[in-house]
C-alpha cells in the first residue's frame, strides 16, 4: 500500500491528465457511474457489496431450493417421457397387430393420442420453466 504522500501525488497526476479533466468538466461521470471497488486479500479487485449478510443467506437458501426443484422437475419430465415412449411403442405394436379387432385398434389409437398430448404438455411446461432467457425466482423485496 503506497504511503499517503505517494497516493496524493498519484491522484494529482491523474487529475492533471487532459482526458480526465475533459471528462470531469463535461460532467460525464456521476457518483452513480463510478463503481466502488475493494481489493481482496488475494489481490483481486471486486465491487463492494450492496447486500447484507442476511440477504446473502436468503439468496443461498433460495438457490438451494431452486436446485432441488430443477432436479426434481428434470427427473419427472424424463420419467414421463420414458414411460410414454415405452407405452407408445407397445401401443404401436398393438395397432399393427393383424389379429386385433377394429375396436381394439381404435382404443389403441385413442390411448396413443392421449399419451402424446400428455408428453407434449410435460415437455412444454418443463422447457417453459427452465427457459434461462426469463428472469425468475423469488423477488428480493419480500
C-alpha cell at 39: 481489493
In terms of average pLDDT, the best of 30-34, 41-45, 133-137 is: 41-45
In this structure, the answer to whether residues 97 and 67 fall within a common structural domain is yes
The per-residue pLDDT for 40 is 75
Residue 48 pLDDT greater than 90, yes or no: no
Q: Kindly report whether the global pTM for this prediction surpasses the value 0.85.
A: no
Asked if 111 and 91 touch (Cβ cutoff 8 Å), the reply is: yes
In this structure, the answer to whether residues 69 and 123 fall within a common structural domain is yes
In this structure, the answer to whether residues 86 and 120 fall within a common structural domain is yes
In this structure, the answer to whether residues 59 and 38 fall within a common structural domain is no
Residue 43 included in any domain: yes
State phi, psi for 30 to the nearest 5 degrees. -120, 170
Q: Please count the structural domains in the chain.
A: 2
Domain housing 14: 4-47
In angstroms, the CA 108 to CA 103 distance is 9
In this structure, the answer to whether residues 76 and 11 fall within a common structural domain is no
Amino acid at each position: 500500500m503506497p504511503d499517503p504522500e505517494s497516493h496524493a501525488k498519484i491522484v494529482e497526476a491523474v487529475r492533471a491528465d487532459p482526458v480526465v479533466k475533459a471528462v470531469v468538466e463535461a460532467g460525464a461521470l456521476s457518483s452513480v457511474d463510478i463503481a466502488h471497488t475493494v481489493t481482496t486479500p488475494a489481490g483481486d479487485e471486486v465491487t463492494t457489496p450492496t447486500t447484507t449478510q442476511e440477504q446473502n443467506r436468503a439468496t443461498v437458501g433460495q438457490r438451494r431450493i431452486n436446485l432441488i426443484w430443477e432436479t426434481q422437475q428434470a427427473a419427472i419430465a424424463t420419467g414421463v417421457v420414458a414411460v410414454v415412449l415405452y407405452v407408445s411403442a407397445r401401443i404401436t405394436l398393438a395397432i399393427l397387430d393383424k389379429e386385433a379387432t377394429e375396436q381394439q385398434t381404435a382404443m389403441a389409437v385413442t390411448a396413443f393420442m392421449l399419451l402424446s398430448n400428455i408428453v407434449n404438455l410435460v415437455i412444454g411446461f418443463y422447457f417453459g420453466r427452465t427457459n434461462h432467457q426469463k428472469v425468475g425466482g423469488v423477488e428480493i423485496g419480500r
